[in-house]
Amino acid sequence: MFSCSPENSSNEDPNIPSNQAPTAPQLIYPDDNSLCINQDIEFSWNEVNDPDGDKVKYIIEISNNRSFSDIFKTESTTSLSININFPKGQAYYWRLYSMDIMDNKSTYSNAYAFYVEGEAANNHIPFKAKLIAPGNNSNAISGTTILLNWESSDIDDDTLTYDIYFGTDGNLNLIKKDLEQNNLEVDIETNKKYYWIVNCSDGKSTSLGDRWTFSTK
């Protein structure tokens, strides 16, 4: 006896493509390294494209560090802007991603830094160092040396110097103090996991950097 049902009983049509995530948002305001006078800040960004035409919402994350290991605030909206109030006299970092009605998430936008002006501030603490290379959690790095590279900025345009901490365990050693350039070549060995931190100083105040890591093969 032959069955009257088709061989493939799945309800899914293999010719229909799966739902796709929307594109990543592009940040507008506050721009990177901005000084914000008011505590109440209106964040804005560009509208994203969803390949399937789905409705999209935007999730904004605010952190006190560039690695976003500690999220200060998370907000969600379907608009292209949102108002958030901040304590004065602190540096913050913000990024954004979009998500459609099927919960498909885009990649993150770039992360921007901004500073909320304090009371009669004569000097602003530098922004935390921004990692350039090697990428955080990079692995299979070869060679006997590697160039550590970062960048930072200061609202007051003060000259910055850097203290570099480097090592293979939690107790990092200060290997370079008051470095004036934003890169440093260091020796490495095979099959090691390295950690490093860059602290930025403008001569009056210091921002303590995030901990980055990479592994050699």
pTM of the shown model: 0.72
Q: What's phi and psi for 117, nearest 5 deg?
A: -55, 135
Extract the residue ranges of the chain whose pLDDT is less than 70.
Answer: 1-17, 119-121, 170
Q: Residue 158 belongs to what domain range?
A: 130-216
pLDDT at residue 171 in the model: 75
Residues 53 and 109 in one domain: yes
Q: Which two tokens stand for residue 128?
A: 């935390």
Query: Encoding tokens for residue 129?
Result: 């160092």
Question: Where does a domain end: 116, 148, 178?
Answer: 116
pLDDT value of residue 168: 93
Predicted confidence at residue 14, as pLDDT, reads 59
pLDDT for res 214: 96
User: Distance between alpha carbon 169 and the CA centroid of its chain, in Å?
Assistant: 24
User: What was the pLDDT predicted at 169?
Assistant: 78
